[in-house]
């Protein structure tokens, strides 16, 4: 133990009186600086005691470290990051970013009272679903609708309210696990529904469902969209339209967990092809569930639409209260859905749709222009080039659907690619890109002009 070093350790009040810390008080609260100073001194003391610290930093350095530590402790833990991965619905980065209108609606709903459950016309209690139900019905053509916390909740609510104690037929090819711990067979068991497995993993025919009804007494047919994987080779699944036709013939309701839920198959909306809510409604499914923050491009929510008696029973179920949608989400969902009344507007102003709909030519010229601009700015420090790449939608949406994209490739001259990746990730607004082919890649699809301005600020610091 170095007694002399311990004695040289500055006193707390000496450190706090340092000009750098005194001036930092203009932007940082005193408690945070004090806490940071205490922790810094404590760490040094422990280091001296266990022999890992043999020289003390000078007071200026210590003050700068303390200020940096205080600043970091005041930063929110959940914060904005720049998504340079090109994955539009990046589950780890918060899935769908909201459009301006939706974000503003959240702000307005957050900062005051609202008519959340108040009927302004009658002055009496109202329903929180009233803000979105007519809108969803008019957009989808469904009889009734409700929204809950997320689609996992919507599916569970559908099963527990409508299928508990009943035999539910589902294809073996659709007994999937969706993101972490949502496994269809287990969710069904928890809801009280009895699983009747139909067909095989790769092929299920309509006759399999017919046998499930006729021979095994299935009372409900359930179709689950296999969102996060794609079967290739010899496969066969039954379309929702054929399933509904069979259901009608046999007097058995058909439920559809659509998962991602693009509303329409309209090129103006920019969504690569896949099953749509419109298609499922047209087929006549009795209840359809889909996510608010996948291809719909809204907030985290689960939407269930379908025949009024079923939706009514779901609204009345005890579990509905457990998975109730909150007012901020409702505000964002209503604003997002309103945009859909004009498809061209939705395609432009809902970020998910705008990013997915970006044309390859546009992405190419963006990538080329950025690479050129950056090459000029950081000549001799980093090599930049534009290149085509394969993107993905993400968020367990449209697996296997190709999404050709363009990236800017970065090859730093006097820095390793992984050091560059780390430094960009550690930036004030963390920048998340991809490392591939021993280069650092930034996909232009998910980057805005404001993002690029921040990336340039970061590169100015890191490369210079």
Ligand X SMILES: *Cc1c(COP(=O)(O)O)cnc(C)c1O
Give yes or no for residue 152 binding ligand X (CB under 6 A): yes
Give yes or no for residue 329 binding ligand X (CB under 6 A): no
Give yes or no for residue 227 binding ligand X (CB under 6 A): yes
Give the footprint of ligand X on residues 399-418 (CB under 6 A): none
Site string for ligand X, 179-208 (x = CB under 6 A): x--x--------------------------
Could you tell me the sign of the dihedral formed by the alpha carbons of 163, 166, 171, 173, in that order? positive
How many C-beta atoms surround the C-beta of residue 224 within 10 A?
A: 22
Residues 6+ apart with CB under 8 A from 2: 48, 51, 54
User: Which tokens belong to 66?
Assistant: 């303390």
Sole binder of ligand X in the list 67, 83, 85, 151 (CB under 6 A): 151
Matching residue, tokens 């697996």:
399
Measured at the CA of 28, the angle between CA 27 and CA 30, to 5 degrees, comes to 130
Give yes or no for residue 224 binding ligand X (CB under 6 A): yes
Burial bucket for residue 52 (CB in 10 Å: 0-12, 13-18, 19+): exposed
**Contact window for ligand X (CB under 6 A) among 67-75, 138-146, 162-170, 177-185:** 177-185
Give yes or no for residue 220 binding ligand X (CB under 6 A): no
Give the footprint of ligand X on residues 69-98 (CB under 6 A): none
Say whether 461 sits in a helix, a strand or coil: helix
DSSP 342-357: SHHHHHHHSHHHHHHT
Give the footprint of ligand X on residues 277-316 (CB under 6 A): 291, 302
User: Which tokens belong to 61?
Assistant: 């350095």
Say whether 47 sits in a helix, a strand or coil: helix
What is the number of the residue whose Cβ is closest to ligand X?
A: 259
Question: What is the closest distance, in whole angstroms, from the C-beta atom of residue 162 to ligand X in the complex?
Answer: 16
Give yes or no for residue 260 binding ligand X (CB under 6 A): yes
Question: Given 3-state DSSP classes, what are the helix, strand and coil percentages for the chain, each rounded to the nearest 5?
Answer: 45, 20, 35
**Contact window for ligand X (CB under 6 A) among 104-112, 252-260, 312-320, 441-449:** 252-260
Give yes or no for residue 396 binding ligand X (CB under 6 A): yes
Return the number of the residue (85 or 228) whose C-beta is nearest ligand X.
228
* CB crowding 369-398: b at 16 or more within 10 Å, else e: ebbeebeeebeeebbbbbbebebbbbbbbb
Give yes or no for residue 67 binding ligand X (CB under 6 A): no
Q: How long, in residues, is the chain?
A: 464
Give yes or no for residue 392 binding ligand X (CB under 6 A): no
Return the number of the residue (95 or 366) whose C-beta is nearest ligand X.
95
**Contact window for ligand X (CB under 6 A) among 117-125, 190-198, 254-262, 451-459:** 254-262
Return the number of the residue (32 or 258) whose C-beta is nearest ligand X.
258
* H or E stretch covering 444: none
Q: Residues touching ligand X: how many (CB under 6 A)?
A: 16
Q: How far is residue 258's CA from residue 16's CA, in Å, rounded to a whole number?
A: 58
**Contact window for ligand X (CB under 6 A) among 67-75, 193-201, 256-264, 381-389:** 256-264
Interface residues with ligand X (CB under 6 A)?
150-152, 155, 178-179, 182, 224-225, 227, 257, 259-260, 291, 302, 396
């Amino acid at each position: 133990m170095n007694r002399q070093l311990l004695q040289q350790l500055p006193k707390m009040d000496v450190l706090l009186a340092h000009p750098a810390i005194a001036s930092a008080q203009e932007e940082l609260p005193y408690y945070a600086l004090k806490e940071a100073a205490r922790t810094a001194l404590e760490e040094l003391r422990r280091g001296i005691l266990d022999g890992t610290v043999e020289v003390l930093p000078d007071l200026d350095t210590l003050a700068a470290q303390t200020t940096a530590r205080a600043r970091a402790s005041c930063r929110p833990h959940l914060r904005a990051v720049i998504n340079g991965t090109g994955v539009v619905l990046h589950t780890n980065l918060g899935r769908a970013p909201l459009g301006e209108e939706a974000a503003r609606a959240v702000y307005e709903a957050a900062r005051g009272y609202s008519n959340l459950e108040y009927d302004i016309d009658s002055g009496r209690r109202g329903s929180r679903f009233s803000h979105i139900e007519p809108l969803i019905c008019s957009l989808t053509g469904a009889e009734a609708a409700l929204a809950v916390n997320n689609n996992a909740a919507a599916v569970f609510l559908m099963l527990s309210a409508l299928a508990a104690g009943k035999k539910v037929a589902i294809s073996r090819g659709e007994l999937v696990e969706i993101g972490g711990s949502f496994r269809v067979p287990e969710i069904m068991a928890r809801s009280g529904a009895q699983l009747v497995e139909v067909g095989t993993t790769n092929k299920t025919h309509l006759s399999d469902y017919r046998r499930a009804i006729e021979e095994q007494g299935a009372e409900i047919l359930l179709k689950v969209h296999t969102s996060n994987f794609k079967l290739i080779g010899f496969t066969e699944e039954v379309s929702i339209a054929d399933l509904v036709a069979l259901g009608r013939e046999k007097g058995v309701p058909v439920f559809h967990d659509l998962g991602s839920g693009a509303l329409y198959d309209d090129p103006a909306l920019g969504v690569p092809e896949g099953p749509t809510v419109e298609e499922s409604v047209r087929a006549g499914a009795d209840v359809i569930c889909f996510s608010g923050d996948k291809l719909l491009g809204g907030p985290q929510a689960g939407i269930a639409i379908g025949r009024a008696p079923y939706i009514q029973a779901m609204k009345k179920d005890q579990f509905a209260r457990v998975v109730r949608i909150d007012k901020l989400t409702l505000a964002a969902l209503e604003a997002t859905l309103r945009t859909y009344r004009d498809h061209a507007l939705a395609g432009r102003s809902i970020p998910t749709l705008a990013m997915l709909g970006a044309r390859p030519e546009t992405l190419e010229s963006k990538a080329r222009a950025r690479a050129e601009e950056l090459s000029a700015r950081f000549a001799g420090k980093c090599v930049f080039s534009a290149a085509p790449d394969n993107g993905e939608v993400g968020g367990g949406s449209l697996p296997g659907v190709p999404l050709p994209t363009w990236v800017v490739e970065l090859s730093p001259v006097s820095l390793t690619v992984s050091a560059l990746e780390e430094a960009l990730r550690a930036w004030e607004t963390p920048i998340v890109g991809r490392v591939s082919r021993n280069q650092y890649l930034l996909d232009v699809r998910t980057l805005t002009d404001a993002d690029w301005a921040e990336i340039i600020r970061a590169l100015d610091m890191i490369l210079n």
